[in-house]
Amino acid sequence: MYEQVSHSTLNDILLRLAPEIESKDLQHFYIRLGANFYAIYTLFHQLYGHRPDFKEQLYILTKTLALSYIERTDTLKALDLKREKAHDWFLHQHWVGYAVYCKEFAENLTGLKQRLSYLQELGINMLHIMPILECPPDKNDGGYAVKNFRKIDPEVGTLEDLDALVTNMQTREMLLVLDVVVNHTSDQHAWAIAAKEGDAYYQDYFHVFDDRKIPDVYEETMPEIFPETAPGNFTWNADMGKWVMTVFNHYQWDLNYKNPAVFIEMVDIILFWANKGADIVRLDAVAFLWKKMGSQSQNEREAHLILQLMKDCCQVTAPGALFIAEAIVAPVEVTKYFGEDAINAKECEIAYNATLMALLWDAVATKNAKLLNHGIKGIPDKLERATWLNYIRCHDDIGLGFDDKDIVLAGYEPKAHRKFILDYFTGVHPDSNARGIPFGHNLKNGDARIAGSLASLAGLEAALEINDEAAIHASIRVIVLLHSVIMSFGGIPLIYYGDAIGMLNDASYLTHDAKKEDARWIHRPTMHWANALERKVIGTVQYQIFTTLKKMIAIRKEIDAFADHNNRELLDVDNPHVFAYSRFSLVDTKARILVLCNFDTQPQQVVITHLQKKGFLMQASVKDAFSSETILLDQPHIEIPALGFCWLNT
Ligand code: GLC
């Protein structure tokens, strides 16, 4: 887009910049800057155009992009060009992710490098290492309260250790995902310390107030994120003699994006980690970036403008790097984080599919797919060049973030249904063998979420305790069934560490002062490598889960129809226990997979003529791509075993 005002501004900036960046090979930088500048100018103007220093700030931003480009290695620049050519490379079914806490999984970065073979054995080629930056030893929110955005926690390693890991991962063609906690810092961050010492420049990096007047107005409409441990959204700081906005924990200070210096700092940090080899940057808590009185201060339009601007900036310097949006918000809101359009107003290429995650847990508890079917229909279509991160468990809690109207459509009363799900997974319900614990109980509105490991929530812990073979078997089937959905649904499956060997809840956090109040630590265990070895012993729980997931991953990678190109159709099979959808290939339009998942503990049948009316199962027999079994279609029904699934090649 050529537009005179922005173009002449760019000319001024480049004239001023030229002597500062001496002659370097900047051809690709200039081409990309030219292509993105109109958007950058417009967005920056929308956010900061009212400020007298607007042009100066735009200059600083452009210089930041140029300096970061100069820092980018030739290897990464070559990767940028390659990915520009194959621009939808990340939609391929080849990618399978895995999320770890470095310390808990492998002690440190060097240890993690030694564990890459374990991940490769499973079929993993995308590794999300949760925050590894320097944090205060106690008040750190599992790494999400960052003290220094450019320094790795010394216990985890050094930048050189990360380099060695990245080089090793590149050899294995494994992608690296790193976090940038864009919404807040620790109260021990240098900016917060300067603010506490009274430095007005740094106080403007945060939302600080002399008295409760403005905070009280905000509080009227802002929800509480950690109501039990950090009620309210503001914290009194005695050093400053001011209130500071702390939406998450009291020690996490929200950054003030109304200040362009904050925006520029954070872009610089994103580019720093992209230059260190992060193929994908996970942007934490993006829904919270813009605060507005009288609103929930989530999903505000300006939060989207900030993300669009971050994307445009990243496209200039590190176009090969992708963004993941961590926005655990309502289904209608979450797709907005992909952006409005794949070319203009792009935001994040990937987003967590928290709706699918919560709906899958609902199906486990209810043993049917009623709400799952309604809820999925409620997720708006996403952009073509965008994909989901589909997961079952992660380091956070499970929020029951589905819509009340879908709960009603599924035939339940919302309040009672939410209570049932909570009771089910916390083991209070008489029919439940789940061992979760409540998290984030809000006494004011009764809301609560759930913590617990996949295996414990699926009943494995309870079953092992009483050595009940049938129950052990059933819980393994639940674990496998849930994975079969994230592998086939469309998007990148993200496996949580420990889940492939059925790791249980770990209550040891209760003995740590810094962790005991945060129930999420129950599912952030130290990896049991001795147990992991059991994956090689036929018949063990670890063997059963690991080998099945390994096989599932390998088969997923072979099926073109599992690439994510909006090539999924939900199917109504007239059986409430069955979740059904078809996936079709864009490469070979005749290649289709019919996915049938039975959430009931009894076998369920699907009427074949019902599916034939929709054009499926017209042949004499059909092969299950997962089990390799052939099913003859000369019968009225297909039977799906209890807690079973099939991937029919139809
Ligand atoms: C994200 C993280 C979560 C953290 C929060 C605040 O939601 O996933 O673990 O507590 O941000 O940083």
Q: What is the CATH number of the domain that holds 606?
A: 2.60.40.1180
CA angle 445, 446, 451 (to 5 degrees): 125
Ligand 1 atom having least distance to the Cα of 395: 9
Q: How far is the CA of 285 from the centre of ligand 1 (A)?
A: 6
Supply φ then ψ for residue 529, to 5 degrees: -70, -25
Beta bridge partners of 176: 127
Give me the residue label for tokens 């499973």: 122
Residue 246 lies in a domain: no
Q: Are residues 320 and 173 in the same domain?
A: yes
pLDDT score recorded for residue 186:
98
Of 560, 580, 609, which one is at a domain's C-terminal end?
Answer: 560
Average pLDDT score over residue span 437-446: 88
At 246 the three-state DSSP class reads coil
Q: Are residues 370 and 431 in the same domain?
A: yes
Q: Where are the alpha helices (DSSP H) in 430-539?
A: 454-457, 460-465, 469-488, 529-533
pLDDT score recorded for residue 648:
97
Strand positions, DSSP E, 210-337: 234-237, 242-245, 252-254, 280-283, 322-325
Q: How far is CA 520 from the centre of its chain?
A: 16
pLDDT score recorded for residue 345:
78
Split at pLDDT 50, 70, 90, the class of 24 is confident
Q: Which of 276-285, 344-353, 435-444 has the highest mean pLDDT?
A: 276-285
pLDDT score recorded for residue 344:
80
Ligand 1 atom having least distance to the Cα of 328: 7
Choosing from 179, 326, 506, 564, the catalytic residue is 326
Of 560, 580, 605, which one is at a domain's C-terminal end?
Answer: 560
Split at pLDDT 50, 70, 90, the class of 348 is very high
Least confident of 211-215, 499-503, 588-592: 588-592
Total domains in the fold of the chain: 2
Q: In whole angstroms, give the CA distance from residue 419 to residue 49.
A: 48
pLDDT at position 342 over 80: no
Q: Are residues 584 and 462 in the same domain?
A: no
pLDDT score recorded for residue 353:
97
Percent of the chain having pLDDT more than 90?
Answer: 93
Q: How is residue 513 written in tokens?
A: 């002062």
Q: In whole angstroms, give the CA distance from residue 612 to residue 371.
A: 25
Beta bridge partners of 235: 244
Average pLDDT score over residue span 25-43: 96
pLDDT score recorded for residue 444:
82
CA angle 352, 353, 356 (to 5 degrees): 155
Q: Are residues 465 and 576 in the same domain?
A: no
Q: How far is the CA of 563 from the centre of ligand 1 (A)?
A: 29
Average pLDDT score over residue span 66-77: 97
Average pLDDT score over residue span 634-641: 96
Split at pLDDT 50, 70, 90, the class of 447 is confident
Split at pLDDT 50, 70, 90, the class of 222 is very high
Of 560, 590, 624, which one is at a domain's C-terminal end?
Answer: 560
Percent of the chain having pLDDT more than 70?
Answer: 100
**Beta-carbon count within 10 A of 529 CB:** 13
Q: Are residues 442 and 351 in the same domain?
A: yes
Residue 536 lies in a domain: yes
Residue 64 lies in a domain: no
Q: How far is the CA of 167 from the centre of ligand 1 (A)?
A: 28
If you write DSSP's letter for every residue of 307-368 in order, what string do you get?
A: HHHHHHHHHHH-TT-EEEE-----HHHHGGGGBSSSSSSB--SEEE-HHHHHHHHHHHHHSS
pLDDT at position 420 over 90: yes
Mean pLDDT for the chain?
96
Residues with CB under 6 A from ligand 1: 141-142, 144, 181, 248, 284-285, 326, 395-396
What single-letter DSSP state applies at residue 526?
A: P
Q: In whole angstroms, give the CA distance from residue 266 to residue 390.
A: 27
pLDDT score recorded for residue 381:
86
pLDDT score recorded for residue 461:
98
Q: Which of 16-30, 416-430, 440-454 has the highest mean pLDDT?
A: 416-430
Residue whose CA lies nearest to ligand 1 atom number 3: 396
Q: Are residues 485 and 550 in the same domain?
A: yes
Q: In whole angstroms, give the CA distance from residue 625 to residue 646.
A: 8
Q: How far is the CA of 34 from the centre of ligand 1 (A)?
A: 36
Q: The dihedral of CA 34, 35, 37, 38: what is its sign?
A: positive
Domain span at residue 131 reads 90-185+273-291+315-560
pLDDT at position 340 over 90: no
Ligand 1 atom having least distance to the Cα of 141: 10
pLDDT score recorded for residue 587:
81
Mutational pocket test of ligand 1: of 135, 139, 140, 141, the residue with most ligand atoms within 8 Å of the beta carbon: 141
Nearest Cα residue to 30 out of 344, 317, 322, 265: 317
Q: How far is the CA of 588 from the centre of ligand 1 (A)?
A: 41
pLDDT at position 446 over 90: no
**Beta-carbon count within 10 A of 415 CB:** 11
Q: How is residue 46 written in tokens?
A: 């929308």
Ligand 1 atom having least distance to the Cα of 181: 12
Q: In whole angstroms, give the CA distance from residue 271 to residue 71.
A: 10
* 340 vs 353, more confident: 353
Split at pLDDT 50, 70, 90, the class of 551 is very high
Mutational pocket test of ligand 1: of 101, 130, 144, 177, the residue with most ligand atoms within 8 Å of the beta carbon: 144
Split at pLDDT 50, 70, 90, the class of 278 is very high
Average pLDDT score over residue span 292-315: 98
- Is 284 an annotated catalytic residue? yes
Split at pLDDT 50, 70, 90, the class of 588 is confident
pLDDT score recorded for residue 445:
82
pLDDT at position 23 over 90: no
pLDDT at position 198 over 80: yes
Mutational pocket test of ligand 1: of 181, 233, 249, 284, the residue with most ligand atoms within 8 Å of the beta carbon: 284
pLDDT at position 590 over 80: no
Residue 611 lies in a domain: yes
Q: Are residues 548 and 435 in the same domain?
A: yes
Q: How far is CA 85 from the centre of its chain?
A: 26
Residue 39 lies in a domain: no
Q: Are residues 444 and 573 in the same domain?
A: no
Residue 248 lies in a domain: no
pLDDT score recorded for residue 21:
84
Q: How far is CA 271 from the centre of its chain?
A: 19
Q: How far is the CA of 168 from the centre of ligand 1 (A)?
A: 28
Average pLDDT score over residue span 211-227: 97
Q: In whole angstroms, give the CA distance from residue 18 to residue 245.
A: 40
Pairing of strands 126-129, 175-180: parallel
Q: Are residues 600 and 529 in the same domain?
A: no
pTM above 0.95, yes or no: yes
Q: In whole angstroms, give the CA distance from residue 161 to residue 276.
A: 11
CA angle 283, 285, 288 (to 5 degrees): 125
152 near 134, Cβ under 8 Å? yes
Q: Are residues 533 and 635 in the same domain?
A: no
Q: How far is the CA of 444 from the centre of ligand 1 (A)?
A: 22
Split at pLDDT 50, 70, 90, the class of 341 is confident
370 near 411, Cβ under 8 Å? yes
Residue 35 lies in a domain: no
Longest dimension (CA), the chain: 80
Residue whose CA lies nearest to ligand 1 atom number 12: 144
262 near 197, Cβ under 8 Å? no
- Is 211 an annotated catalytic residue? no
Average pLDDT score over residue span 232-254: 98
Residue 101 lies in a domain: yes
Beta bridge partners of 494: 97, 391
Nearest Cα residue to 479 out of 428, 549, 580, 540: 549
pLDDT score recorded for residue 343:
77
Q: How is residue 576 written in tokens?
A: 């409430």
Split at pLDDT 50, 70, 90, the class of 385 is very high
Residue whose CA lies nearest to ligand 1 atom number 10: 141
Choosing from 179, 284, 349, 406, the catalytic residue is 284
Split at pLDDT 50, 70, 90, the class of 317 is very high
Average pLDDT score over residue span 50-54: 98
